[in-house]
Structure 1
Amino acid sequence: MEWKMLKLLTLWSLHILCLILLHMKKANAEVPAIIVFGDSSVDAGNNNYIPTVARSNFQPYGRDFYGGQATGRFCNGRIPTDFISEDFGIKKYVPAYLDPKYNISDFATGVSFASAATGYDNATSDVLSVIPLWRQLEYYKDYQKNLSAYLGETKAKDTISKSIHLMSLGTNDFLENYYTMPGRASQYTPQQYQIFLASIAENFIRKLYDLGARKISLGGLPPMGCLPLERTTNIMGQNGCVSNYNNIALEFNDRLKNLTTKLNQELPGMRLAFSNPYYIMLLIIKKPDLYGFESASVACCATGMFEMGYACSRGRMFSCTDASKYVFWDSFHPTEKTNSIVAKYVMDNVLAQFLE
């Protein structure tokens, strides 16, 4: 009996020690801010302040966010970057750069330049008149100037070099642009288009590097053929995942992974990580019960088959009562619970290297 008690106390002591070491590791990690570029997967509300229909600043969006506030996040609550920011011990959510409620004192510890419905390709952002990636970079340059005025030039440069720059985009380039609009498909084969997008990603990362960024996470594509919208329209495939879209995601992710290796070799002091959400998302979708979900093919909002944005607002009376039982919030975007699982996976398996 005493031996068992001693063993339990030893295990408990080791557990406490591990927690203390993890806390010390985070405290000494020197990640002062989370800086975000991308699309609706990480847009914290920038689209609220531009003339576009790609918005979500109304109920039922945000119903599980702090205060039940619809911030412009395409979710019932928080998005992955919010959870990542909290995991780094910075703050519970990352604000949108264009939101007038916030200023440089808020942005000094985290800011999102992301815009829903955008992509690497300028033609993608033109579809719904949203913020292109090049414009996000211009906002970032303005942010750096404001940060220098606020912190002083030396501390601002130090902050930029130690902050994690997160990129999450690409899905819209294929689903909203290449496979929907006539332009790019007539110019490029799917493989050529991937090369075109990867070259834009490379140029963007090089520009971030030239501006002082040293810790960058390049996000991959999810299994986009399994989004409820794609499954709803896959009638011939009995509403299963669209394998062609998933294969494209896998191919493009391989290109981004290779790009990561290349740039780490070519850019001195660079720590570029490839954050791949594909396999964890696919596991959640294929085996939702493992994570406590009841539905992976139909979303929470309205009928759950094709609604997002304003269509969710019109159909809110039909929305589910408990979003935590659903993998997807609307036909394109995960629920807060799914975002938290994916964020933890990426944090533990990829971003933890920035704590070293």
Structure 2
Amino acid sequence: MAWRVILSVLFLISSIPRSVAVGAPQVPCYFIFGDSLADNGNNNDLDTDAKANYPPYGIDFHEGATGRFTNGRNFVDIIAELLGFDEYIPPFATAKGGDILRGVNYASGGAGIRDETGRQLGDRISLNHQLQNHMVTISRIREMLGADAATYLNKCVYTIWMGSNDYINNYWMPDIYPTSKLYTPKQYAVVLIEQYEQQLKTLYSYGARRLAIFGLSEIGCTPAEISEYGTEGSLCVDKLDGEVMPFNDRLKPLIHELNRNLTGARFIYVNTYGISTTAVPAVPVTCSTCCEVKEDDQCIPFRTPCLDRSLQSYYDGFHPTETVHMEVAAIGYRALLASDAYPSDPGLDIASFTALPTVGSITSDK
């Protein structure tokens, strides 16, 4: 696995500068749905504990602490660079005017596929709510583009990474949520996938045709879960990762079904499982977090983080460093191995979206 990491990082270094890329975008717009791994400021003004708009978050980002849960760029920032955008995609909370024509980031820390997920943290924008926000954006785009809006949206790239909080801030909190008492891990995965399927179909009905769906990573490898449960001699908390795998196992067949049944759709599954343990092969995953953390495993405000951030996998108890985000973006944008993406035919990755013909249209105004 280490050679894949080296090739991916070298590809990124040769493809993009540290600042935003310059040049005509390969697609007209990029829409982002997700949780704290992609959030770039949507939670800043919410009444929530899931915030990252203070130092030492953003210590390596040119704008400082913006609400990104890492030290620098997150993976959607890097994908935007690779797609050729000369500015990062704005958060829905602040996007206005013509800015929305290049895309919107709806991601929210603590959010999940299920609406109740993360409620103990305070306010958050669930995937259902993110879809409602996207409909607001579509209405504005229609006002600007009129009849051309449908074709415009068909050409955009969409990325979705959801589900981690449905375990961390739901299933694994039996004192707050009943899900672990109602469902076995396999049953819970079925329930999540069934709801996720409807949400992805809704996004398709809104005009999305080029969608990259990111699978769940090894949540049991996060410093927070390792500290909470211990590893019993393993690299990660195997029990937790074993409960997550049924979700990924059901996500791949769902991608196949959506591609088969939805006219003009091109869904891909991006395999992020294992990245946290291979992106920085020289550093054990059990190493301490880069920043000093509070009881909730987020960074203590204004404390000085570690100096070797590029050699660390995790910045706080749950969120990776920019180095890991680079690896995620690399395999999502251009898969180097057949195992990086599904379907595994050559060239099926985000980069391949830029050459797809426009097919289909917006079919619903939900």
Same fold (TM over 0.5): yes
Aligned counterparts, 1:294-333, within 5 A: 297-302=287-292, 308-309=297-298, 311-313=299-301, 316-317=303-304, 319-333=305-319
CA contact (8 A) 1:232 1:306 kept: no
1:213 to 181, 203, 208: 208
Match of 2:18 in 1: none
Matched, 1:148 2:142: yes
Match of 1:179 in 2: 172
CA contact (8 A) 2:171 2:179 kept: yes
* Structure 1 CA distance for aligned equivalents of residues 25 and 55 of structure 2: 38
Matched, 1:46 2:67: no
**Deviation readout 1:130-149 (Å, 9 max, x if unpaired):** 11111111100000011122
Match of 1:355 in 2: 354
AA in 1 matched with 2:127: L
Matched position secondary structure for 2:274: helix
How many Å apart are 1:281 and its aligned residue? 3.2
Change (3 A) 1:236 1:208: closer
Match of 2:345 in 1: none
Match of 2:60 in 1: 64
AA in 1 matched with 2:130: Q
CA contact (8 A) 1:40 1:116 kept: yes
Matched, 1:159 2:152: yes
1:272 to 264, 267, 278: 267
2:27 to 6, 31, 34: 31
Q: Which has the higher helix share?
A: 1
AA in 2 matched with 1:47: N
CA contact (8 A) 1:280 1:342 kept: yes
**Deviation readout 1:106-158 (Å, 9 max, x if unpaired):** 221121111101110112042323111111111000000111223x1233222
TM (norm. structure 2) is 0.81
Change (3 A) 1:30 1:155: farther
How many Å apart are 1:298 and its aligned residue? 2.1
2:131 to 130, 137, 146: 137
Aligned counterparts, 1:224-239, within 5 A: 224-235=219-230, 237-238=232-233
AA in 2 matched with 1:159: Y
* Structure 1 CA distance for aligned equivalents of residues 24 and 309 of structure 2: 36
Structure 1: gaps spanning 5 or more residues? 1-18, 20-26
How many Å apart are 1:234 and its aligned residue? 3.0
CA contact (8 A) 2:28 2:156 kept: yes
Change (3 A) 1:145 1:210: same
Matched position secondary structure for 1:40: coil
**Deviation readout 1:169-199 (Å, 9 max, x if unpaired):** 1111112110113411121111111111101
Match of 1:260 in 2: 255
Larger radius of gyration: 1
Matched position secondary structure for 1:105: helix
AA in 1 matched with 2:313: V
* Structure 2 CA distance for aligned equivalents of residues 245 and 92 of structure 1: 38
AA in 2 matched with 1:258: P
Change (3 A) 1:80 1:239: same
* Structure 2 CA distance for aligned equivalents of residues 123 and 280 of structure 1: 28
Matched position secondary structure for 1:137: helix
**Deviation readout 1:270-322 (Å, 9 max, x if unpaired):** 1111111113333236xx22xxx57663220116x96643x4216x14x2123
Aligned pairs, number:
319
CA contact (8 A) 1:295 1:325 kept: no
Match of 1:336 in 2: 322
Change (3 A) 1:133 1:295: closer
CA contact (8 A) 2:70 2:321 kept: yes
AA in 1 matched with 2:162: L
Identity of aligned residues (%): 33
**Deviation readout 1:212-266 (Å, 9 max, x if unpaired):** 1111111100011101111122336257401122223322111111100011111
AA in 2 matched with 1:224: I
AA in 2 matched with 1:173: D
* Structure 1 CA distance for aligned equivalents of residues 257 and 160 of structure 2: 17
CA contact (8 A) 2:224 2:297 kept: no
Runs in 1 of length 4+ with deviation above 4 angstroms?
27-30, 293-296
* Structure 1 CA distance for aligned equivalents of residues 241 and 87 of structure 2: 32
Matched position secondary structure for 1:157: helix
How many Å apart are 1:92 and its aligned residue? 4.5
Matched position secondary structure for 1:155: helix
Change (3 A) 1:86 1:76: same
* Structure 2 CA distance for aligned equivalents of residues 111 and 212 of structure 1: 14
CA contact (8 A) 1:124 1:177 kept: yes
User: More relative contact order in 1 or in 2 (CA 8 Å, sep 6+)?
Assistant: 2
Structure 2: gaps spanning 5 or more residues? 1-14, 16-22, 336-348, 356-366
Match of 2:363 in 1: none
Match of 1:77 in 2: 72
